[in-house]
Structure 1
Amino acid sequence: MSQSTVDPTFYRSPAEAAAAPPEELAYVVAFDRAAQKHDAMTVVDVNPASDAYGQVVGWTEVPGLGHELHHFGWNACSSALRHEGHGGELARRYLLVPGLRSSDIHVLDTQPDPRAPRLVRTISGKELSDKAGYSRPHTMHCGPDGVFLTCIGGPEGDDDGPGGIALLDHTTFDVLRAWETDRGPQHFAYDAWWHLNQNTLISSEWGSPSMIEDGVVPELLLGGKYGHALHFWDLADGRHVQSVDLGAQHQMVLEVRPSHDPDATWGFVGVVISTEDLSGSIWRWFRDGDEWKVEKVISVPAEPADPDRLPPALKPFGAVPPLITDIDLSVDDRFLYVSCWGTGEMKQFDVSDPAHPRQTGSVRLGGIVDRAAHPARPDLPLAGGPQMVEVSRDGRRVYFTNSLYGAWDDQFFPDGVGAWMAKLDVDPAGGLSVDERFFPHGDDFRGLRPHQIRLQGGDASSDSYCYR
């Protein structure tokens, strides 16, 4: 890829990414739980100097109903600086937006007007099933050989068959094949990311579609039947190398966040809940010789609560679990952010020593019991809680939305989850404060529920860097 044609948002190193101009727009997917309105890609103005700061300034609907747009990503990112065969034309331009329920993948072009993405192609769930043998696409990363798309389900007609990773062409977006050549024992799928320079992919486990699409199934949870392992793969070969079982009590091993240092061999993964005490936890993986090891480094306890204030699923326990549903690691690997959706808390940990995290900040908004209000609207109790979290490249801003997954929203917030997005300002020494000027909510999202966020020019959870 010649230097003259390199996308300026492809950064060679974490430091170069942090020094780049700040984001001015955030792309936020939003879905209609009732499947009566079109799901949409919304565009939010995040430039503090703009007259439209904190407002939804773009809206692109996708055809059809009931997709449940969930996680999405760019067709290309900084890792392209290590890829071959792109003819010098690859750019961070297209957003690939899967429907978790429909399995269709919508391709949105953010050019020429970044505030008005255009739908240019829809890849059908049938193509995904026929060519890769998967369904229910969940998370994607631009990487070697193509776009890696983790999928919760197996092929059409066998949705609960093993999930895995589909490979899509970087430029045509055609589904190429299943990425795995030897899948080993992994059956459940969720997230996947990598250490590019170590030729290692790390993948995690949630559950098959029938276990998640109607909410948490108590019998399966208490029986330790959801995913509880982390997997390590040969990235070039698509070959499973090692599994580490965290223990059946540690249910739902979700977001993987490798260090952004291309020479590092460690990262973090979040676990939603322990069936022993309803705590959530963060685990660190690291390489020890030729072996990968995983250890728990953070435990977040459940909080006692009056059963009368709890949804039916939690009444027998008399407590609110934190429900760690997302984590994000700043580009400089300094701070880890932990979304505790159940208690309505966003935690910040200093992970300069990744083996010994130290909490340095906390903000509460929403929560199953607390319903903590935003300072912009102290009169408005909030449902939902910090969920999908995204950190700016320079680490100074943290954005998050409040909806988790339609059926789970309804299970834990049966009186309605609402719709809102918040922004936190980060003290470089540690600490968080809510930006009182930034609070898209309610009718701003036209009755849809906002979920994942991507930042213009890249962000902390979508880029892999190739050089120091």
Structure 2
Amino acid sequence: MARFRAAPAGRISLAVLAVSTLLGAPARADETCLSPYMAKITGIEDFVYVWTLGVEGLGDGSDKLVTVDAREASPTFGKPIHAASVGGRHEAHHGGFTDDRRQFWAAGLSDSKIFVFDVATEPARPRLVKVIDDFVEKSGGAAGPHGAYALPGRMLIPSLSNRDGTGRAALVEYANEGHHVATHWLPTDAAPNGARIEAGADGYGYDARVLPRRNAMLTSSFTGLANALRPLGELVKDGEAMKRFGQTMVVWDFHARQPRTVLSVPGVPLEIRWAWGPQHTYAFTSTALTSKLWLVREDAPGAWSARPVAEIGDPSALPLPVDISLSADDRTLFVDTFMDGTTRVFDISDPDAPRQIYEKKIGAQLNMVSQSWDGRRIYYTSSLLANWDKTGDGNEQFLKAYAWTGRELTPRFAIDFTAERLGRPHMMAFGAASLYAR
């Protein structure tokens, strides 16, 4: 059975986690992308929580948090065992646990609502306990909460947009209790907020990740809600709309919440993954429209740069890289591409020269990838955005689980979310059945 190794908020560091892994401490089962401020699961995950978009006419038609049984000895292994509906469709997107792991915050892009689930009382059956519906008002106009990232006693919520849907985004902080604490707007050319700008500052937002030991936070950029919620086939034919996509990443002084450098990263940089090694001061991202891997590195104390280091598939075919997952030993990087439904594995032991070592088609379309800390279990979901998912036979909606041997992926189980009348599975998070430390 999986258990929790609790830690006081703010006491876990990337270096401690990496060193303990190398020295043979109990293997953490958690995804490698989680906040360093969170308590971590030890052993093997018991559940996979799937934040799922509702589909009209399918089940109750509402967004929901679906619990999938990941316990191999269980009679319901590989099956959905619970669904906590939120009522209505809100463009379910990303989310995350609080630092004490007692709650899971799940964001809705379309109406800027945040749904708070109690996952501690009964981990197999999360329960909706709060709906935060003042995000736009309290933040001062940010809109489209993209996810939730644990800080000590707080949740950091990047927005995609502002209330008019056109672009400028913010980082919004809420206390774990659910009240607004602070808003930090991303720099623009007109309002750089003290940041040094390499080529331009577009103000778009997407992901946010922290490297505490370097007092560094990194953010990436996507597009405003007006584009994100528009049908993809229509969007790509609108030349003016296609100009309104992110081309930057921002390095912040984390403690001061002060933007320091706006890096030029053309092509829409999305997910950010910091390396875990105690001497590693770099991160990877992928660019959706140019299909490249980028390396962001600290070249000297406080001096950061970004450069492309590899191509992902055939960029001319627009495979659309979406999610990435970095192994805990900083040696391999999984990269998903939406349009061809393929996952690729890169050897990134030399971060300056990634080398593809494996690829596998997972489905007709592919979005998120979640990797266990020991690197042995990999999970995939299919849905990107309601209006961007494929139609017809290409609209496969699944959660698929694989074992990774270091050389190949072998199937463990698969769930057809359409056949189960659950909806469109988007992001995943791991859960445990054991009692939480109080």
Contact 1:138 1:150 in 2 (8 A): yes
1:255 CA displacement: 0.6
SS of alignment partner, residue 94 of structure 2: coil
Match of 1:288 in 2: 299
Distance across 1 between alignment mates of 2:417 and 2:183: 40
1:165–1:220 Cα change, 3 Å: farther
Q: Is the 8 A contact 1:128 1:175 kept in 2?
A: no
2:397 corresponds to: 419
Structure 2 runs not aligned, ≥5 long: 29-41, 187-192, 196-200, 434-438
Residue of structure 2 equivalent to 1:351: 348
SS in 2 for 1:70: strand
Deviation at 1:59, TM superposition (A): 1.1
Counterpart residue number, 2:43: 21
Q: Which residue of 2 aligns with 1:315?
A: none
* 2:271 matched residue in structure 1: 255
Q: List aligned pairs for 1:118-267, cutoff 5 A.
A: 118-124=127-133, 126-144=134-152, 146-155=154-163, 158-170=164-176, 172-180=177-185, 182=193, 184=195, 185-216=201-232, 217-218=235-236, 219-220=238-239, 224-247=243-266, 250=267, 252-267=268-283
Q: Which residue matches 1:52?
A: 76
The residue type paired with residue 430 of structure 2 is: L
Give the equivalent residue in structure 1 for 2:32: none
Percentage of pairs with the same residue: 25
Aligned residue identity for 2:49 = Y
In structure 2, C-alpha distance between the alignment counterparts of 1:287 and 1:406, rounded to whole Å: 37
The 1-side partners of 2:395 and 2:350 are apart by 36
State whether residues 194 and 260 of structure 2, in contact with CA within 8 Å, keep that contact through their aligned partners in structure 1.
Answer: no
Contact 2:148 2:158 (C-alpha < 8 Å) held by counterparts: yes
Aligned AA for 1:238?
Answer: R
What is the 5 A alignment of 1:282-431?
A: 282-289=293-300, 290-302=302-314, 320-367=317-364, 384-385=365-366, 387-409=367-389, 412-413=390-391, 417-427=395-405, 430-431=406-407
Quickly say closer, same or farther: Cα 1:399–1:330, change in 2 above 3 A. Answer: same
Quote the Cα distance in structure 2 between the aligned partners of 1:168 and 1:331: 29
CA distance in structure 2 between the partners assigned to 1:343 and 1:325 by the alignment: 11
* Secondary structure at 2:328 match in 1: coil
Deviation track 1:190-243 (CA, whole Å, cap 9, x = no partner) reads 111121111111111101111221134223489643111111111111111111
8 Å Cα contact 1:96/1:105 also seen in 2: yes
**Secondary structure of 2:145's aligned partner:** strand
Q: Take 2:218 and 2:168, find their aligned partners in 1: how far apart are those partners?
A: 17
Assess if the C-alpha contact under 8 Å between 1:186 and 1:231 holds in 2: no
State the alpha-carbon separation in 2 of the partners of residues 103 and 93 from structure 1.
22
SS in 1 for 2:72: coil
Aligned to 2:108: 99
Provide TM-score, normalisation by structure 2. Answer: 0.82
Structure 2 match to 1:453: 428
Letter in 2 for 1:407: N
Q: SS where residue 388 of structure 2 aligns?
A: helix
Shift of 1:332: 2.2
Residue type of the alignment partner of 1:37: G
Unmatched 5+ residue regions in structure 1? 77-90, 275-279, 304-318, 368-383, 459-468
Letter in 2 for 1:121: K
Measure the CA separation in 1 of the matches of 2:263 and 2:113.
Answer: 32
C-alpha distance in 2 between matches for 1:59 and 1:102: 21
Residues 93 and 223 from structure 1, CA distance in 2 versus in 1: closer, same or farther, beyond 3 angstroms?
Answer: closer
Q: CA offsets per residue over residues 9-61 of structure 1, 9 Å max, x none? A: 97851314735311111100111244871211001111222221110012111
Cα displacement string for residues 130-163 of structure 1 (whole angstroms, at most 9, x for unaligned residues): 34431110022112562110011214xx332511
1:432 CA displacement: 2.2
| Matched letter for residue 284 of structure 2 | F
1:320–1:342 Cα contact (<8 Å) kept: no
RMSD of aligned Cα (Å) = 2.7
With over 3 angstroms needed to count, the CA separation of the structure-2 counterparts of 1:5 and 1:228, relative to structure 1, is closer
User: Is contact 2:93–2:146 with CA below 8 Å preserved after alignment?
Assistant: yes
Question: In the superposition, relative to structure 1, how do residues 449 and 341 fare at CA in structure 2: closer, same or farther (>3 Å)?
Answer: same
8 Å Cα contact 2:376/2:404 also seen in 1:
yes
1:69 partnered with 2:69: no
Instruction: Tell me, in whole angstroms, the C-alpha distance in 1 between the residues paired with 2:429 and 2:295.
Output: 25
Looking at structure 1, the residues matched to 241 and 223 of structure 2 have their Cα atoms a distance apart, in angstroms, of 14
2:31: which partner in 1? none
- Amino acid of the structure 2 residue aligned with 1:169: A
**Contact 1:321-1:343 within 8 A present in 2 as well:** no
Q: Structure 1 residues 10 and 52, CA, compared in 2 at 3 Å: closer, same or farther?
A: farther
2:104 touches 2:119 (CA, 8 Å); kept in 1?
Answer: yes
- State how many pairs are aligned: 391
**1:197–1:92 Cα change, 3 Å:** same
In structure 2, relative to structure 1, the CA distance for the partners of 1:336 and 1:68 (3 Å cut) is: same
* Residues 392 and 43 of structure 1: CA distance in aligned 2, closer, same or farther (over 3 Å): same
Task: Note the alpha carbon deviations across 1:61-117, whole angstroms, 9 max, x for none.
Answer: 113x121211010011xxxxxxxxxxxxxx211000111112111110012211111
CA distance in 2, matches of 1:109, 1:29: 14
Label 1:144 to 1:232 Cα distance change in 2 as closer, same or farther (>3 A). farther
What per-residue deviation string (whole Å, max 9, x for no partner) do you get for residues 235-276 of structure 1?
A: 1111111111134xx2x21111111235421010110122xx
**Higher deviation after alignment, 437-446 or 178-187:** 178-187
Question: Larger RCO: Structure 1 or Structure 2 (Cα < 8 Å, ≥ 6 residues apart)?
Answer: 2
Query: TM-score when scaled to structure 1?
Result: 0.77
Per the TM alignment, residue 416 of structure 1 is displaced from its structure 2 partner at its CA by 5.4
Write 1 or 2 for the structure with the bigger share of strand: 2
